[in-house]
Structure 1
Amino acid sequence: MSVEDNKGVNRKVHWQSHQSSNAEMPENTLAAILDAWELGGIPEVDIRQTMDGVIIGMHDETPKRTTSAPAADQDRLISECTFEQVQTWDAGVKFSAKYRGERVPSLEEVLVILTRHPERELYLDYKQVDLEKLAELVQQYGVGKQIIFCHKDHENCKAIKRLAPEIRTMLWIPDGETARSFEAARASGFEALDIIQLHLKDAEGDEGWRYKLGKDYLQHVQEQLTEAGLELEVLPFYFDQSSMFRLLDIGIRRFAVDEPRVFVATLNDYDFDKASFI
């Protein structure tokens, strides 16, 4: 729910801790998940399934980049590994010795925490899982209203909505596909969608607006989504105070960020009372 003051200014900002960047914490670990919640954000877990059917947090198809998996396992597909194997890998030490001992979490571990904190939310970025199994697991723990399912394929968003209508869905649209994918979603009546995320890549040169997607276009998209009862989320891959303030000025109130602490510090400096809404 939005929180508006008597001037109609929406001061509530939702933000996703984008896990695949490895910027401030070892991605897809309980340490990163808990840290995002403690900062006031919503963590993201990239979900894959092991050979024995356990849904885990892992961005890549293989463990090579993010874990201490031995040479024999480094290039093995997660779908070819058992959960017992996965649990022998250290998921924190490659990021920093400070996080030595962090393991690849099962989704079930994270959902157990959600049951104890009904005020918390969680993004699940679909990589490779059985959607029926995912829906059953979420419903088993009764946390569907706390889940935001994310994928770039609209059909997967429709599928999870059929299986678990209480789960919110977010269609993320990568740079280069914005107009086509957004128009296709709009033509469907934004079927089964709750949020649309647009990726903001830097433009070449500096003409007073940092991103390839123009301010007017973002405002247009936001107006259409608001009218349809949806939310706009943006993922600015890079931002400074000026560019973030301009996004906030437009009225955008949902973000995905690679550097949560930098984002929170920037947000704390934003004066909602002087928002220009240009």
Structure 2
Amino acid sequence: MTLLSATDHQAAEPRIHWQAHQSTNAEMPENTMAAMQYAWELGGIPEIDIRQTADGIIIGMHDPTPKRTTSASEADQDRLIAECTFEQVQAWDAGIKFSEKFRGEKVPALEQILAVLAGHPERELYLDYKQVDLEKLAELIGRYGLGRQIIFCHREHENCKTMKRLAPAVRTMLWIPDGEIEGNFANALETGFDSLDIIQLHLKDAEAGGEWRYKVGRDYLQQALSRLSETDRELEVLPFHFDQDSLFALLDIGIRRFAVDEPKVFVETLSRYRQRQV
């Protein structure tokens, strides 16, 4: 019998992918270039929430207004992003509310991020659809030739279908929130997971303590993973809270895609899991 070295064993293991959910906003100012670089350097895939300005520039912004995350003036705080020009958006500081350390961070245009991504074919990027013209988005991705590095995400299956039609190389992910999982997953299954590459399930903690942490049961996750694997699709989970035991349990099921709010903690925990496997 040939024994695998630690390096060989890791090489034989399926790769574990992780998304920096909402631009790692627990560790970095969300939807900034700093957050993108942070996730890439940790070995993950950053997420940028995409909206469009009044003059047609696609930017990174989660909320419909700049109030929560930027230094926008009182006059602009409650103004819709769709009513602001890109020049107005660039006047705001997108880092200072998170930490003085990030003073000067700007709300990036998606094109600025794609220009960086184009120089790194090994990197990927999640685009969480908020409010953009999908034809314009597809044209922008195509201009940079980045389809295979992009994962388009939304909770509406029809938007994923539209994006796949406009940009066939782009992978699409349907995310399903707590409370809608069984129904929406069944609906997607009925279509044969039409135009989907990944389904993400949101994992909230169960109210009562027990051996299994989450509302979504272990058996259900195993069945969902099996259904998706049969059609060469992938299952991703977003555990809003995890510790070593709960993360190890998800990995033991065979889940290899995660979205996390604390990337650094996730990477450290994942390292301990891999050491246990050697």
Deviations along 1:84-129, whole A, 9 cap, x unmatched?
0000000000000000000000000000011100110000000000
Residue number among 119, 122, 125 corresponding to 1:122 in the alignment? 125
**Matched ranges for 1:147-226 at <5 A:** 147-226=150-229
Query: Which of 17, 20, 40 is equivalent to 1:37?
Result: 40
1:250–1:256 distance in 2 versus 1, CA, 3 Å: same
Q: Which amino acid aligns with 1:229?
A: D
2:51 equivalent in structure 1: 48
Q: Deviation at 1:9?
A: 6.3
**Any stretches of 5+ residues in structure 1 without a counterpart?**
none
1:62 matches 2:56: no
1:12, distance to aligned residue in structure 2 (A): 1.1
Query: What's the CA shift string for 1:29-68, capped at 9, x where partnerless?
Result: 0000000000000000000000000000000000000000
- Aligned match of 2:4: none
Q: Is the 8 A contact 1:9 1:272 kept in 2?
A: no
How many residues are matched? 272
How many Å separate the matches in 1 of 2:77 and 2:263? 29
For 2:147 and 2:97, locate their aligned partners in 1 and report how far apart those are by CA, in whole Å: 33
SS at match of 2:266: helix
Provide TM-score, normalisation by structure 2.
0.95
- Describe the SS at the equivalent of 1:98: helix
Pick aligned residue for 2:21 from 13, 18, 25: 18
Q: Distance in 1 between matches of 2:35 and 2:76?
A: 24
* Rounded Cα–Cα distance in structure 1 between residues aligned with 2:277 and 2:155: 35
2:137 corresponds to 1:134: yes
Contact 2:23–2:46 (8 Å) recurs in 1: no
**Shift of the alpha carbon at 1:20?**
5.7
Q: Which amino acid aligns with 2:60?
A: G
Cα distance change on mapping 1:6 and 1:24 into 2, 3 Å:
closer
Stretches of 4+ aligned residues off by more than 2 angstroms: 5-11, 271-275
Say whether residues 1:80 and 2:61 are aligned partners: no
Aligned to 2:148: 145
Note the alpha carbon deviations across 1:104-162, whole angstroms, 9 max, x for none: 00000000011100110000000000000000000000001100000000000000000
Distance 1:199 1:9, change over 3 A: farther
The answer to whether residue 253 in structure 2 is matched with residue 250 in structure 1 is yes
CA deviation after TM superposition for structure 1 residue 11, in Å: 3.7
In structure 2, distance between residues paired with 1:47 and 1:216:
34
Tell me the C-alpha RMSD between the 2 structures: 1.7
Residue pair 1:16, 1:44 contacting (<8 A) in 2 also: yes
Question: How far apart in 1 are the matches of 2:275 and 2:229?
Answer: 20
The answer as to 2:230 corresponding to 1:241 is no
* Cα distance in 1 for residues equivalent to 2:52 and 2:126: 16
User: Could you tell me the percent identity over the aligned residues?
Assistant: 69
Q: Residue 97 of structure 1 corresponds to which residue in structure 2?
A: 100
AA at the equivalent of 1:105: P
CA–CA distance in 1 between the matches of 2:206 and 2:22? 24
| CA distances 1:201-233 after superposition (whole Å, capped 9, x unpaired) | 000121100000000000000000000110000
* CA gap 1:232/1:110 in 2 versus in 1, 3 angstroms: same
2:216 partner SS: coil
